[in-house]
Structure 1
Amino acid sequence: MSKEAKSSYFDLPALDVSVAFPQATPASVFPKCTSDYYQLDDLLTSEERAIRLKVRECMEKEIAPIMTKYWEKAEFPFEVIPKLGALHISGGTIKGYGCPGLSVTGSAIALAEIARVDASCSTFILVHSSLAMLTIDVIVLNNDIQLLIHRFSFNNRTIGIRNAKEKYLPPLAELSSISCWGLTEPDYGSDASALRTTATKVEGGWILEGQKRWIGNSTFADVLVIFARNTATNQINGFIVQKDAPGLQSTKIENKIGLRMVQNGDILFKKVFVPDEDRLPGVNSFKDTSKVLAVSRVMVAWMPIGIAMGVYDMCHRYLKERKQFRAPLAAFQLNQQKLVQMLGNIQAMLLVGWRLCKLYESGKMTPGQASLGKSWNTLRARETVSLGRELLGGNGILADFLVAKAFCDLEPIYTFEGTYDINTLVTGREITGLPSFKPAPLRPQSRL
């Protein structure tokens, strides 16, 4: 074969998966939902059910056909932002300023429905809405982790809070402006309270110096919510940084195996000036940051629910379509046992997530409960997607059939917003009263 013929041979495009493997329908045509076995809808309000159906329809029709292409290229599908904006879910529970004012349950359900089809899109919304926007909304929380309503007064502090909300929240709510949330640093992930990025007070504002890593949306965000250590007080403060601020640099982290559509970035701050009005008055210590994370962990606990539901739905359809030994795969006992195990996991995850929302809405949720919900649900989802990968055989490693993509996407979710281990330690500290985050001090070695 000549060099030209070889080149032509290798340049041939791959067959469309529906042609190459006609025995099963790919995820570009998303399966109907068959995973709500214990009828969660009965526990939802009519508004929450409507949100669920609205988001589901958008994801199945608009996102499912294109997600594999963008995931493979590790690019974000900017074309879907207007479609996600039209759902009017950005801002979640925030009331006013163009935000939807959803119930916690409604916001969680919406996030799960996005994750059911694509975990990267759900992460995009999580970062933008449940982290950055909630922080800008100046979350003030009491010991029960319940949102308090800001009472309007005429002091400068309250006027500044209101002005910041009016300036930033409306465009963020309609997704005409995009935000990110920067806490993690190269040297400080789980130990985020030890962060080194600094904020130094100067005339008219602050100077930020330092570095952040793994910040989702940061390569294209218009608004960056950044946490830095106040050099005067040594406390963690919050700031809003504009994308075009001099001295700001954000670059994409390459070569990820999961959440490939999410644009995680490394951020460098070199004498970045932030005006006084963009200092967030609701963040005055790491405790304030931890409370924001506790709220977002309610949302994160629902992402693995959505991922697991999508995997089950795909496997349920695939096993009825795909035939071996002159029978559909769904007819074999081992496959049915795995399907039922997956289904049982999902029902338990759903009930944990629903109860977590109810605890939050009643003002009873604790940080330990939020951490347990996130860690336990990601663990069960990990088992569920692993079983799904087995059920699809060779097609279980193809993103075209969703399961391989979900398998990879779940791994960073198992780790972000507190690793599985750190979240269990948060719960462990709460139930025992004994913190175990730091190892015992090393004893001096004896000379004997």
Structure 2
Amino acid sequence: MSTAPPTDLLGYWDELLTDVEREKLRSLRALLEERARPHLAEWWEAAESPAHLRQELAALRLEDDPALLGDDGRPSPFYIGFKHFEFARFDLSIGTVYGGQVGMFRTVVREGGSPEQVAALDERIARFEYTGCFALTEPDHGSDIALGLATTATRDGDSWTITGRKRWIGNAAISDVILVIAKDAADGRAKAFLVPREAPGVSLTEIRGKIAARMVRNADIVLDGVRVDESQRLQRIDSFRDVSAILAQLRFVIGWNAAGLQTGAYEAALRYALAREQFGRPIAGFQLMQEKLTRMLGNATATLALAVRLTELKARGELTEVHAALAKTWAADRTRETVALGREIGGAEGGRVETDLARFFGDAEAGYTFEGTHEMNSLIVGRAITGLSAFTR
């Protein structure tokens, strides 16, 4: 097993990470290779979530080991980026099973909760003792959710009644609580609630038949007059602007996920090309194969470089919506191209999960859509370029 990403031609691993951070990521890599690699194809084909790995991953203390924490009590953004890279390089679904908890859910609670709520929940979330998922999108509202939020919350004394539906909610079936974003019926502003998954009025239907992120248990959620105490409302979220500001803190990892997924596809294609023989020699020795591998490596390297630059801007407080949107739309395109080249190298075998090429090929479609679709991110950049908004007519 290598000690640094083989595609890190520009030396970011050695330059940007401390010895402690590199060793922590090596321990992650070792656990994934030992505990997940033998079962990946089986889990993916059966759409089985490896939720049992969460406690083993939590035991690595990837988030809260004191040796990782800076003066602000948090790991460095470059370590966080490389952690996302490592998960995506191995498997996007496992990265989501883990990251949906300690990335999305933890960040929204940490930034949106009151100091008392954060003190009570933050460490438990990091240890996977209190699990949650983030429920924002709805059956009829994805890209337009900011203006189209249909799930409502009506206050009655010290409790709220929540009614509505949520769709494509990852990890919902394996979480203790669902962090629901709903519109306050009184003032029309977005609020956030910690809704127990087993609460009366909550029903989940898992989304099946997916071609991407098959090990993530996405769900349709119906909230039918669900009662939630005021104490379960995150006290520092009082508008959709608050939600957007929190989610913006996570946008810098877009490039890291894309670079990791491309790296995994490249490594799988290279392994296959070196092992597969045609006309008496490995296909890796043919010009056409080497050209494809070179393009894959170039895409992965360029995307990693972009991820590093976005992280630098994040650390300086200069990362903008336009930076993130341009990075997402460009990196998603490169990812699609990279995994397609890998599948081509595999020929017919590239369509089989056992070679890993089909898994990366399918999972790239999930990355192409979440974190904002290609079209919506293009409109964000287009508005900045031209000064004209194409969102409305």
TM range (shorter): over 0.9
Distance in 1 (CA, whole Å) between partners of 2:64 and 2:176 is: 16
Q: Counterpart of 1:50? A: 23
Give CA-to-partner distance per residue, 1:382-439, whole Å, 9 cap, x none: 100100000011110011111101100110110012101111222222344432212x
- 2:365 equivalent to 1:411: yes
Q: Do 1:258 and 1:410's aligned partners in 2 also have CA atoms closer than 8 Å?
A: yes
What is the SS of the residue equivalent to 1:177? Answer: coil
Distance 1:430 1:237, change over 3 A: farther
Q: Do 2:8 and 2:301's aligned partners in 1 also have CA atoms closer than 8 Å?
A: yes
The worse-fitting range, judged by mean Cα deviation, of 290-299 and 270-279 is: 290-299
Q: Do 2:88 and 2:261's aligned partners in 1 also have CA atoms closer than 8 Å?
A: yes
2:11 aligned to 35, 39, 44, which one?
39
Q: Do 1:414 and 1:420's aligned partners in 2 also have CA atoms closer than 8 Å?
A: yes
2:221 aligned to 244, 248, 267, which one?
267
Give the TM-score normalised by the residue count of structure 2.
0.93
1:319 aligned to 270, 273, 276, which one?
273
Amino acid paired to 1:170 = E
1:391 aligned to 340, 345, 350, which one?
345
Point out where structure 1 has 5 or more consecutive residues left out of the alignment. Answer: 1-28, 140-159, 441-448
Q: Do 2:259 and 2:304's aligned partners in 1 also have CA atoms closer than 8 Å?
A: yes
- 2:58 equivalent to 1:85: yes
- 2:331 equivalent to 1:358: no
Distance in 1 (CA, whole Å) between partners of 2:178 and 2:319 is: 28
The structure number with the bigger radius of gyration is: 1
2:175 aligned to 221, 245, 259, which one?
221
Q: Counterpart of 2:258? A: 304
Distance in 1 (CA, whole Å) between partners of 2:41 and 2:353 is: 6
Amino acid paired to 1:44 = L
Give runs of ≥4 in structure 1 deviating > 6 Å: 29-32
Give the TM-score normalised by the residue count of structure 1.
0.82
Query: Within 5 Å, which residues of 2 pair with 1:1-400?
Result: 33-46=5-18, 47-90=20-63, 101-139=74-112, 161-193=114-146, 194-400=148-354
Amino acid paired to 2:115 = R
Amino acid paired to 2:266 = Y
Give CA-to-partner distance per residue, 1:277-307, whole Å, 9 cap, x none: 1111222211122223322222233212111
Q: Do 1:211 and 1:268's aligned partners in 2 also have CA atoms closer than 8 Å?
A: yes
Give how far 1:268 is off.
0.7
Q: Would you tell me which structure has more helix in proportion to its own residues?
A: 2
What is the SS of the residue equivalent to 1:138? Answer: helix
What is the SS of the residue equivalent to 1:210? Answer: strand
Give CA-to-partner distance per residue, 1:197-237, whole Å, 9 cap, x none: 00111111211100000000111210211100011111111
Give how far 1:238 is off.
1.1
Give CA-to-partner distance per residue, 1:120-168, whole Å, 9 cap, x none: 01122332222211110125xxxxxxxxxxxxxxxxxxxx712211222
Give CA-to-partner distance per residue, 1:57-111, whole Å, 9 cap, x none: 2222222111211111111112211221122235799x99xx9721122112111
Amino acid paired to 1:34 = P
Distance in 2 (CA, whole Å) between partners of 1:30 and 1:251 is: 41
Q: Counterpart of 2:384? A: 430
Q: Do 1:198 and 1:228's aligned partners in 2 also have CA atoms closer than 8 Å?
A: yes
Distance in 2 (CA, whole Å) between partners of 1:427 and 1:389 is: 31
Distance in 2 (CA, whole Å) between partners of 1:90 and 1:222 is: 20
| Aligned length in residues | 388
Q: Do 2:177 and 2:196's aligned partners in 1 also have CA atoms closer than 8 Å?
A: yes
Distance in 2 (CA, whole Å) between partners of 1:90 and 1:121 is: 16
Distance in 1 (CA, whole Å) between partners of 2:211 and 2:3 is: 25
Point out where structure 2 has 5 or more consecutive residues left out of the alignment. Answer: none
Give CA-to-partner distance per residue, 1:303-359, whole Å, 9 cap, x none: 121111111111112211211111111110111011111101111000100111111
Give how far 1:39 is off.
2.2
What is the SS of the residue equivalent to 2:117? Answer: helix
Give CA-to-partner distance per residue, 1:349-371, whole Å, 9 cap, x none: 00100111111011111111112
What is the percent sequence identity of the aligned residues? 36
Distance 1:338 1:31, change over 3 A: farther
Give CA-to-partner distance per residue, 1:264-285, whole Å, 9 cap, x none: 0011111111111111122221
Q: Do 1:111 and 1:125's aligned partners in 2 also have CA atoms closer than 8 Å?
A: no
